[in-house]
Structure 1
Amino acid sequence: MVKLSSSNDEHTFLSSINGVPAISLYFDPESHGQIPARAQLGLPLLPKPGSSQQFNLLEQWIQLCNTRHQCLQTKTRPSGQMPTRLLYVGTERDPSLRLIETRDEKVNGHYVALSHCWGVLNKEQRVCTYAGNIETFKKTIPFQTLPSTFQDAVTVTRALAVPYLWIDSLCIIQEDDEDWMSEAARMEDVFSSAYCTIAASSSTSSLDGFISKRAQRAAIGIQTSQGTLYLAEAIDDFKTHVEKSVLNTRGWVLQERALSRRTIHFTSTQMYWECGEGVHCETLAELGNRQSMFLGDSNFPTYGLEYYRDERIRLVQYLYQVYSGLSLTKSYDRSKAILGLQKRLGSTFKSTAMYGVISKYFERTFLWQANISASLARIDYEPSQTVPSWSWMAVMGRIRYMDVSFDEVTWTGDLENPFKAGFDETEWDGQLAAKVKRLAIDDGEFEERCKIDLSLYKFDPNSWKCVVVGKSKVSKQDGSIDQYVL
């Protein structure tokens, strides 16, 4: 038994003593009376997954967003932003599937993108495009040979009457480094140009699927003079179902969600619609929170820029801190899985963005360190991948940034900013020039004040050199000043 109390949520009638919503109050949408206080129009019993009723709700969400919001760009998409390859999903009359090269065919209409977990699968369990089967896939791909998650994505795409679907493992040639690098650099365009994104939030692998049976929640109907009132189990929990889902622990997914204009999240409990105007639940409830408004921004990062205003570097630091704590199947994807997001940040700030550093905020983005509870491990990159040792992208583990007060620090210029006029990133090897000084500090003070992110060796503090990146403008009572040192 739990102690129940009133909740501050508009449609949550009771919550448990620890604040977890327990019961929600709904008013039958077909009732014509006045909606009672603390109730909202909603569905106590959800449609069957994959049913026409569920897909009709999806269509209504899309039409609402198309006609009343500014999430869907009305300007014609430049041809260069069309993905290199797409999966043609066919029609009801001709449900055949095939892979198409967009440069070879006149591709008209929208496409949907899939965000999903690959999962820990062997090669036989994966359905991917390789150099050896791409010509076969261009002719036909039997629906029954696709894993459940891909089948469900095709089903939803057809239900939305969208002709094309983008799935990474099918639209990028696997085990082809050249194609992989080319397509990884296009992720910003792939997700930001999609009509909408399907997120398989609760699926741990492509074998799971996301249109699956779910337990119907408990609900009690009460007849009133105004219509039917329902007491139902509270299930509107976007934070738990989506933001803390298995999908959103993956490194690649942060940029997929942030860059998508609209996302349909399929969870084991219900379906959610996320766009720049907030979150809609399958129960018909409407939700809104700062993080969902931020990452769900259809023109990311416009909302974040407005929220942070004069401290917009906090936006960059927040994103990089979140990303650094996410997992990757291949650690050497650390610098690639955020390329699209980094590209967007660079264009937003009209500044060069590379290896986790933004030229406009050069010094501040350099002042990172291992998070208090995290340990860092050096990533063994391929020789062809250049990731400087000074970048947090060279290590795995969660990071944080030093808290440097605004307008209270002077940057010394001892660490030279390489991103000057005429900078050519294709010719840069990642090396930096800096004015170094000897670090005069005793063993005790070193232990107390210095943080070693990579404990690979034992160092003699007296042999250390340092770069003074910035100095506090305000002196302490003893006349000393804080210095920010690498």
Structure 2
Amino acid sequence: MGENVDGTEPDRHAVVESCSFCSCIVSYQFYECYWHESDLDKEIQHFFFHQQCTDCADLSKKESLCEFCEHLRLGHLVRCGMYGDWLKRRFNIDDPEGASWGITVSFGKLQDIRQRAEHCESCCIILQTMKSEHCKLDDSFYFRLHPLDRSDEFDFYIDCKGDRLAGVLRSLNLAERFDLQRLQPPLRVDWLQVRAWLEGCNKEHGAECNPGSLQSAPPGFRLIDTEKGFVVVAPPHPCTYAALSYVWGVTADSYVRATKSTMEELETEGYLFNHPLPATIQDAICACSHLKIRYLWVDRLCIVQDDEATKDAQINAMGAIYRHSSLTLVDLEGLDMNHGLPGVTEDRYTVPTIYQTQGMCLRTVQTSYDNLVRRSKWCSRGWTFQEAMFSPKMLLFTNTGVFYECPGYDEAFQEDRFVLERREGRRFCFSAFDYGDLLSEFTGRTLTFDSDILKAISGILHWRYGSEHYFGIPFCEFPRGMLWYPSSERNVARTQEAGSMFPSWSWSSVIGKVQLPYLWYHPILSGVWVIPSTGIEKAPVHIIRPHTERREWDEAAIIRGLEVVLAWKKGCFLGRLPPMLNVNTTWRQYSDMIRSKWASLDHLIEEALGLNEIDFDRMFPSFAQGTLHPGSLLTHTQSVRVQGIELLEKEKAELHTTSGNLAIERDFIDMNWEWLSDNFSKNPDLCFDVLALSFMDEQNYSFIGSAPQNMQKYWYDSDGDTLRWDLHDPKSDFVTFKANVMVVETKDGVSRRIGIAKCYLQAWVSVSPEIRSFILV
């Protein structure tokens, strides 16, 4: 790049200082050098805006530009300022590869830009591209000019930003002749590029991307033979297949689907080639042909929809089906199955506008991959959640282009180079989901049929927990899972239709997003909880046992062990208290006793609960008589009868019980407390109980040397020392214990959840709770 140096240094500085437009620079960065406008090198400013340049002199001669843009010389900034040699020489940089370059310019207020745009081509381009319809006239706009990461030699951004996200322009190829075709995304899928992605993944990545073929197929597992156009029973040997993830939508019943009556037709060779199919399924078959994948799994055509036994088996096996697919094809933007996969058999209809100004070729930038996913109908659906979580490799079809995502790459690949913001990390990562996060994400989605809520998550639960879950709550997550609460007051009860059951104690009983306490929340079971059998056998299917994941007596386990011991001594557990604990001693001596007698926290809890001495016939006579309701959950735990309620300020309430008043912490979202209070006065025959669900510990921050406030909520040993988080550190935080409780309405021998709350363990003990049996439905 060539430039002319004109004038002495003092003259150049004088020109810059007298120029009102040069103050438009907000900041400038090159390599490791960074300036704000106040101390910007005048020589650099002069080079940017005033020095004559033979290479750029003719760039804008034929264009109509305002004074601001004539001074800005955007084409010169890019050609000579960003990619020229002058700055390299100025800073003695031999190899600026990886250098950070950028200039932030104040482009003026919206009203000024609009006035300039009437006669200025560059202002008009920027005004058209930035989203200014909701901005105020006096809002200021800035743009930042910087190289495009992962770029070709002449790529860069112009980010136009105001108080709100405005828009982005990006240019390409500042060579003498513009290659406009390179600016446009292809109208059809670039299958050569897609195959290169897949081949690279297959060669470079391990089992995380390529877990192998499905070894144990569910009963009735079928696939579409894309070469011969019909549905076949999956070959007995492991085979390679793709899977389709899409939105069924309202057109679901207008096309053929697999039923007992249609299977004979679907299994006729060529049938799918000779009969109309939804566009998305038709395009998926075509995509498999391009990718040389013979078999395709599509739920609509491969699951016999009216064979309930086979259907349930395949729904439970969704994890394995998607996990072992060679590729999942995703219709990301479709609202129904007629949308098709953009770019497969029909041209994409999203064509970005291309502009030319000051020797540059500019185009609007497509929205980011993250935004495409987040805003899609596909991402809002419950069924597609598990499909995305299980799929190791996904090819997502959009009008912007196709995206490829797999665990082996840190970010998604894309056809269109000019898609805004690549994100760090995968968009979908099943292994990263804690049960609480998984539940929150899943319940925030929608289903065409609300009654499908448990079916739509069963694949995930079976994959992660096997058969050890009950109405959406895994056995190992039971203490925390029972503490679910709606995230919004708009949540409503889910209607129980024929063949479906949503017990009140399960999160599946409400429509809308639900949440669990934080992951560090470690509640300890406070009673015996039994999941009854659904058959004729009289033995319970499962006794919920502690799963604290504390295999050793570390600091946290000891505190929770002390919690169990203190509650046990207060009569909160059914098991017989060992004589060694029936003493008043120091915290350290209690700790030594716990370590010496029990191998782990789980062993301690099991003995406190008396799980090895359960008399089921005595605890649950209704169970012994075989009179249980569907969806029942049996519990033998402490409870108190509620006779009235008084609502207090700051999310507090006082329950009037037969043994005194119980102060609890209430949650406005989880329970309609006003409704509960009104019902006591209007319906004196209603029976409400408060059941102990679990106990938990809380750390209370303490100042060094300070005494605990509200002495009644803390615990003291024989020396009068307050229980602290670290038994060996007298300056560590104080510890309190609380009881998590469930308010239930009991009628005709069964109880239904009203809501959950919590109270201090001392307060719970003070109302003399009794251990009783309940059947929750």
Residue 73 of structure 1 is matched in structure 2 by: 210
Residue type of the alignment partner of 2:353:
A
Q: Which moved more, 1:251-260 or 1:182-191?
A: 182-191
> Do the aligned residues in 2 keep the contact of 1:387 with 1:430 (CA within 8 Å)?
no
Name the SS of the counterpart of 1:433 in structure 2: strand
Residue 47 of structure 1 is matched in structure 2 by: 186
Residue 62 of structure 1 is matched in structure 2 by: 198
> Do the aligned residues in 2 keep the contact of 1:117 with 1:247 (CA within 8 Å)?
yes
Task: Establish whether residue 344 from structure 1 lines up as the match of residue 463 from structure 2.
Answer: yes
Residue type of the alignment partner of 1:22:
V
Residue type of the alignment partner of 2:412:
V
1:16 aligned to 133, 139, 161, which one? Answer: 161
Q: Which moved more, 1:200-209 or 1:409-418?
A: 409-418
Residue 639 of structure 2 is matched in structure 1 by: 437
Residue 477 of structure 1 is matched in structure 2 by: 709
Query: Deviation of residue 222 (structure 1)?
Result: 9.2
Name the SS of the counterpart of 2:248 in structure 1: coil
TM alignment of 1:275-290, pairs within 5 A: 275-276=406-407, 277=409, 278-284=411-417, 289=423
2:690 aligned to 446, 466, 483, which one? Answer: 466
Instruction: Give distance in 2, aligned partners of 1:20 and 1:342.
Output: 42
Over the aligned positions, Cα root-mean-square deviation in angstroms equals 3.6
Task: Establish whether residue 186 from structure 1 lines up as the match of residue 336 from structure 2.
Answer: no
Query: Deviation of residue 120 (structure 1)?
Result: 0.8
Change in 2 beyond 3 A, CA 1:79/1:473? closer
> Do the aligned residues in 1 keep the contact of 2:529 with 2:636 (CA within 8 Å)?
yes
Residue 136 of structure 1 is matched in structure 2 by: 265
Name the SS of the counterpart of 2:242 in structure 1: strand
Instruction: Give distance in 1, aligned partners of 2:216 and 2:525.
Output: 45
Residue type of the alignment partner of 1:477:
Q
Query: Deviation of residue 415 (structure 1)?
Result: 5.8
Instruction: Give distance in 1, aligned partners of 2:296 and 2:668.
Output: 47
Residue 245 of structure 1 is matched in structure 2 by: 376
Q: Which moved more, 1:273-282 or 1:254-263?
A: 273-282
Query: Deviation of residue 61 (structure 1)?
Result: 1.3
Instruction: Give distance in 2, aligned partners of 1:294 and 1:216.
Output: 25
Instruction: Give distance in 2, aligned partners of 1:12 and 1:376.
Output: 47
Residue 250 of structure 2 is matched in structure 1 by: 120
1:363 aligned to 456, 471, 479, which one? Answer: 479
Residue 144 of structure 2 is matched in structure 1 by: 6
Task: Establish whether residue 325 from structure 1 lines up as the match of residue 444 from structure 2.
Answer: yes
Residue type of the alignment partner of 1:319:
L
Instruction: Give distance in 2, aligned partners of 1:74 and 1:369.
Output: 37
Change in 2 beyond 3 A, CA 1:485/1:289? farther
Query: Deviation of residue 485 (structure 1)?
Result: 2.1
> Do the aligned residues in 1 keep the contact of 2:242 with 2:295 (CA within 8 Å)?
yes
Query: Deviation of residue 158 (structure 1)?
Result: 0.6
> Do the aligned residues in 2 keep the contact of 1:55 with 1:159 (CA within 8 Å)?
yes
> Do the aligned residues in 1 keep the contact of 2:219 with 2:314 (CA within 8 Å)?
no
Task: Establish whether residue 84 from structure 1 lines up as the match of residue 84 from structure 2.
Answer: no
**Higher RCO (Cα < 8 Å, 6 or more apart):** 1
> Do the aligned residues in 1 keep the contact of 2:218 with 2:314 (CA within 8 Å)?
no
Instruction: Give distance in 2, aligned partners of 1:439 and 1:402.
Output: 26
Residue 104 of structure 2 is matched in structure 1 by: none
TM-score by length of 2: 0.51
Task: Establish whether residue 395 from structure 1 lines up as the match of residue 510 from structure 2.
Answer: yes
Query: Deviation of residue 86 (structure 1)?
Result: 0.3
Instruction: Give distance in 2, aligned partners of 1:335 and 1:65.
Output: 34
Instruction: Give distance in 2, aligned partners of 1:363 and 1:122.
Output: 40
Change in 2 beyond 3 A, CA 1:484/1:44? farther
Q: Percent sequence identity over matched residues? A: 20
Q: Which moved more, 1:3-12 or 1:468-477?
A: 3-12
> Do the aligned residues in 2 keep the contact of 1:81 with 1:193 (CA within 8 Å)?
no
Deviations 1:381-401 (A, max 9, x none): 434x45433111132211122
Change in 2 beyond 3 A, CA 1:267/1:410? closer
Instruction: Give distance in 2, aligned partners of 1:232 and 1:336.
Output: 45
Query: Deviation of residue 149 (structure 1)?
Result: 1.0
> Do the aligned residues in 2 keep the contact of 1:415 with 1:467 (CA within 8 Å)?
no
Q: Which moved more, 1:149-158 or 1:230-239?
A: 230-239
Change in 2 beyond 3 A, CA 1:132/1:410? closer
> Do the aligned residues in 1 keep the contact of 2:496 with 2:502 (CA within 8 Å)?
no
Query: Deviation of residue 7 (structure 1)?
Result: 8.2
> Do the aligned residues in 2 keep the contact of 1:109 with 1:163 (CA within 8 Å)?
no
Residue 111 of structure 1 is matched in structure 2 by: 241
Instruction: Give distance in 2, aligned partners of 1:274 and 1:150.
Output: 21
Query: Deviation of residue 439 (structure 1)?
Result: 6.4
Name the SS of the counterpart of 1:114 in structure 2: strand
Residue 37 of structure 1 is matched in structure 2 by: none
Change in 2 beyond 3 A, CA 1:412/1:194? closer
Which ranges of structure 1 fall in alignment gaps of 5 or more residues?
Answer: 32-41, 91-95, 306-314
Instruction: Give distance in 2, aligned partners of 1:404 and 1:259.
Output: 22
Which ranges of structure 2 fall in alignment gaps of 5 or more residues?
Answer: 1-126, 133-140, 150-155, 176-180, 533-538, 544-622, 624-629, 655-664, 701-707, 714-735, 743-777
Instruction: Give distance in 1, aligned partners of 2:417 and 2:385.
Output: 26
Instruction: Give distance in 2, aligned partners of 1:233 and 1:416.
Output: 60
Instruction: Give distance in 2, aligned partners of 1:340 and 1:393.
Output: 15
> Do the aligned residues in 1 keep the contact of 2:211 with 2:323 (CA within 8 Å)?
no
Number of paired residues?
Answer: 436
Larger radius of gyration between Structure 1 and Structure 2: 2
Residue 27 of structure 2 is matched in structure 1 by: none
Instruction: Give distance in 2, aligned partners of 1:137 and 1:359.
Output: 41
Query: Deviation of residue 220 (structure 1)?
Result: 5.1
Instruction: Give distance in 2, aligned partners of 1:423 and 1:182.
Output: 23
Residue type of the alignment partner of 1:196:
L
Change in 2 beyond 3 A, CA 1:464/1:208? same
Query: Deviation of residue 463 (structure 1)?
Result: 4.9
Instruction: Give distance in 1, aligned partners of 2:363 and 2:395.
Output: 23
Change in 2 beyond 3 A, CA 1:372/1:7? farther
Instruction: Give distance in 2, aligned partners of 1:410 and 1:369.
Output: 15
Name the SS of the counterpart of 1:165 in structure 2: strand
Task: Establish whether residue 449 from structure 1 lines up as the match of residue 666 from structure 2.
Answer: yes
Change in 2 beyond 3 A, CA 1:66/1:15? farther
Deviations 1:135-178 (A, max 9, x none): 11111324351121111111111100000111111001123322
> Do the aligned residues in 2 keep the contact of 1:271 with 1:282 (CA within 8 Å)?
yes
> Do the aligned residues in 2 keep the contact of 1:7 with 1:15 (CA within 8 Å)?
no
